[in-house]
Chain A
């Protein structure tokens, strides 16, 4: 393979072409390995879809397809209304999170007032609180104000959990906007409110997108909060699905079909906004 052709070739040429051949072979191996990992990562999704189109007996034998799983799913699980519940809870939570985190983030980044450093530290500390540590008192508190019979309780908990990180992220982003720009705008008589609304907010759209995507996936995929704070009629699709699987009554194909339906919206959001998601993850490092 690497033998030099009849034409005079310097040793350096030979070495270079040999190196290139080795590099190509190496790339081939790397590609193959990557493909294997990809199969490992993707196979479960194929399995999910494949077995959603089976009856229980077809599932046991792993052959044949049918729509029985889907009909059973729609009979056992109010798919439509639960999807709607997911949307309502997500939209309301994200709206509040954005409202709080953009304003608070801007304030932390651009306004100096007494104790702002301390408050910011508290917000960052809140990032460390695991949900399980506060869930019981939270439950009792919200029950006291009878907020667990509506969407409100769950939405409040999602907001409390999502806001610290969102605020941290927004503050980091606003710090990147030059102070001169903000000051110039304030000097021009815009005032802080309008400076925020007309200048800072439009500039921070990428960060807002990141927060939205992160929170959407988090809330959409959550089980614990929804399980405890939502009544059966208000359950999100993820919670409904988990409850269904715990019930042991339904067939596996129906569960697979339900899994598929519940996963699709988050996957679509992921595919469209992938870049923002990655950015959010790495921004957390605070560089």
Chain B
């Protein structure tokens, strides 16, 4: 059944992607649809957005790493903090987007805060600009990934042998040095895992957020590949084009997955 509902559609999608299809009639065109797409400036504009979203990933991983390191000190109430940070995981992107929309609005909280700290001249309507809207989207994304990645790193840190950091401390390494030279290298595997999760989310889980926050706009400012599939297919009725972009997205994901697998394999081989 899984194959019927996942495998067959993939094959169909590949077929449809080579047709000119408006939902009623499909005319076979052939692989030239792909070369045409590659010459389409809209495609590159959309892909550019996906690329720019990648820039958010270091933040989506770096911040949780720091947070996890602090939580791992087990200060009073760290369990409570952990639950709080993870909370957005339970909340739908629709709700998150709804609140983010108010936060970034021209008379929203962000601009009010800017005014309060005397930076009133920096007030902007972030969602009105193509680039700034994407930044707003990325910030919201980083915010909601914080809990997930923190949990991954905490789990990783729990698997570490405490005698290692102890030994490093005896050897006279400062805390920061211990973190960067001992803990971080040992967490490599977990960092890779969180990279995959974050990237998959950035490329294929943001539909609802985009739908609620920007609707892909202004212009094509926040239209990523996954949103474009919906736009082309269901909003404009160009099912063939939509399917084609779906396939491109699929290929990107597979490539990322394979590279990832390679990395993990080669490391296991070295036995780090």
Contact = CB atoms under 8 A, between A and B. Distances in A.
Which residue, of A132, A222, A223, has the highest number of chain B Cβ atoms within 10 A? A132
Contacts of A259: 94-95, 98-99
B6 A136 contact: no
Interface size class on chain B is: 35 or more
Interface of B: 1-3, 5-10, 12-13, 16, 23, 67, 70-71, 73, 75-78, 81, 83-96, 98-100, 102-103, 107, 109, 143, 146-148, 151-152, 155, 189-190, 193, 200, 203-204, 207-208, 211-212, 215, 225-226, 229-230, 233-234, 239, 242-243, 245-247, 249-250, 253-254, 257
A134 B6 CA distance: 7
A223 B94 contact: yes
Contact of A138 (B5, B152, B193, B226): B5
Interface in A124-150: 126, 128-141
Contacts of A73: none
- Which residue, of A34, A278, A285, has the highest number of chain B Cβ atoms within 10 A? A34
A267 B78 contact: no
A210 interface: no
Contacts of B204: 130-132
A33 interface: yes
A281 interface: yes
Chain B binding surface, main DSSP class: helix
A270 B90 CA distance: 6
Interface in A205-238: 217, 220-224, 227-228, 238
A258 to B, nearest CB: 8
Contacts of A6: none
A27 interface: yes
Contacts of A157: 5
A284 B197 CA distance: 10
DSSP majority for the A interface? helix
A122 B3 contact: yes
A44 B103 contact: yes
B10 A136 contact: no
A72 interface: no
Contacts of A14: none
B226 A228 contact: no
Given A47-B102, A136-B13, A138-B5, A223 B208 contact: yes
A222 B107 CA distance: 29
A160 B2 contact: yes
Contacts of A278: 86, 151, 155
A130 B250 contact: yes
A38 B242 contact: no
A182 interface: no
Nearest to B11: A137
B109 A34 contact: no
B212 A134 contact: no
Given A128-B254, A160-B1, A133 B13 contact: yes
Contact of A30 (B75, B98, B212, B254): B75
B249 A41 contact: no
